[in-house]
Amino acid sequence: MIKFKRRKHMEEGERGKIVIYWNYFDLCLGIVLMVLTVFFMNDYLVHQSERYNYGTNVELSQFLDETDRIQID
């Protein structure tokens, strides 16, 4: 059996059980790390297409149509 208890409510004699003691700092740190992980995973997955290939020095102009290109005189 897993019990979640706040650290200020620690008790003796919790043998044979999984007891996870937590405080508000642990909770906030876990939420921040989860948000950062989801953000960077989303950023990585979004930029997997050929248009955002960071591994090669391909210019964006190769992917534009002739009508989309800006003519500079």
> How many domains does the chain contain in total?
1
The answer to whether residue 59 is domain-embedded is yes
52 falls within a domain: yes
Q: What is the pLDDT of residue 20?
A: 73
Domain extent for 35: 2-63
Does residue 73 sit within a domain? no
The verdict on residue 71 lying in a domain is no
Q: Please tell me the predicted confidence (pLDDT) of residue 46.
A: 78
C-alpha to C-alpha distance for 73 and 69, rounded to whole angstroms: 13
Q: How many helices (H) and strands (E) does the chain have?
A: 1, 2
Instruction: Return the closest-CA partner of residue 19 out of 42, 1, 46, 43.
Output: 1
Q: Please identify every stretch of the chain with a pLDDT value under 70, giving residue numbers as ranges.
A: 1-17, 48-73
